[in-house]
Amino acid sequence: MKKIIIAENDPNFKNDIAAQPGSESFMRCFTCGTCTASCPVAEVHDEYDPRKIIRMAILGMREEVLSSDILWMCSRCYTCAALCPQNVKFTDVISILRDMAVKEGYAPQERLDQARELDKAIQSLRCKIIDSKLHPDQSDSKEIIKALEDELKKEWQ
Ligand code: SF4
Ligand code: SF4
């Protein structure tokens, strides 16, 4: 496990986040874990943990958070925000962190657009697959495979 050296962290990071509309209450987090337990991404990704991202942000781990691939895994479903007992709007916090990552040069602007487009494409694909399960006689599995292949071919920066 990597050691956290507080003196090397950025004490202003949490204040920069809290200054943005939507994340004013994020420091109220008392690490109950409800967000992580209810998150559909955490359910399938071992490394994804919204509670941990908040803790790292509060500890001032600016570079680790903003440069992390994990930041782009959230599907922005708002489940965590709806269930948080401390009214932390983690979905908004993630959006703010992504914006900060772009502004501070940790990620290119294109990645924000790509993440939005991918979320839309995934929902469309999900609807197509459910439809094909409900109506197998009317479904076109080639269309689903093609849509999936098209997404996989797109490059991410
Ligand atoms: S549910 Fe809210 S209070 Fe609990 S760990 Fe997540 S953000 Fe923190
Ligand atoms: S908004 Fe993101 S972190 Fe929150 S439950 Fe949905 S996928 Fe998980």
Specify the 3-state DSSP secondary structure of 156. coil
113 Cα to the center of ligand 2, angstroms: 18
Sign, Cα dihedral of 41, 45, 46, 49: negative
Closest by alpha carbon to 61, among 105, 5, 101? 5
The full set of domain ranges for the chain reads 9-107, 110-153
With 0.85 as the threshold, say if the pTM is over it: yes
150 Cα to the center of ligand 2, angstroms: 25
Task: State the amino acid at position 116 in one-letter form.
Answer: R
144 Cα to the center of ligand 2, angstroms: 25
| Cα(69)–Cα(107) distance, integer angstroms | 10
Closest by alpha carbon to 25, among 102, 104, 84, 78? 84
- Domain 9-107 belongs to what topology? Fumarate Reductase Iron-sulfur Protein; Chain B, domain 2 (1.10.1060)
Contact between 46 and 39 under an 8 Å Cβ cutoff? The reply is no
Pocket of ligand 1 (CB under 6 A): 29-35, 50-51, 54, 84-86, 88, 90
Return the ligand 1 atom nearest residue 32 CA.
Answer: 4
DSSP state of 9: S
Which pLDDT value is given to residue 136?
Answer: 85
Contact between 72 and 115 under an 8 Å Cβ cutoff? The reply is yes
Q: Which ligand is nearest to the CA of 34?
A: 1
pLDDT along the chain (157 residues), means of 10: 74 96 93 97 96 96 96 95 96 96 96 92 91 87 88 86
